Amino acid sequence: MAADGGFAAGHLRAFIERIERLEEEKRALGEDLKQVYAEAKSTGFTPKVMRQVVRLRKMDTAERQEQEALLRVYLDALGESVAAAAE
């Protein structure tokens, strides 16, 4: 692997740098997102609920319903817990 006299090393360096560049861009987008949520919050919206909205829009409807159905089954199975949860 090192027997190619540094040829591979140059490739490796190139890969690493591409990776680090991409990760930096990703990080920057994360900052932007944080910024948008902060801005929305200062406008009076609730980031936590906004995240829920985004998550729901992203989530496949069938999948979401399936999960809700399973949750209901579990709560039903717990009997009085359901009552406690719903009271």
Q: Do residues 19 and 11 touch, judged by C-beta distance below 8 A?
A: no
Minimum CB distance to DNA, residue 55 (Å): 6
Cα–Cα dist 24/76, whole Å: 47
Contacts of 33 (CB under 8 A, 6+ apart): none
Q: Which of residues 14-53 bind a copy of itself (CB under 8 A)?
A: 15-16, 18-20, 22-23, 25-26, 29-30, 32-33, 36-37, 39-40, 43-46, 48-50, 52-53
Contacts of 35 (CB under 8 A, 6+ apart): none
Binding site for a copy of itself (CB under 8 A): 1-2, 6, 8-9, 11-13, 15-16, 18-20, 22-23, 25-26, 29-30, 32-33, 36-37, 39-40, 43-46, 48-50, 52-54, 56-58, 61, 67, 70-71, 73-81, 84-87
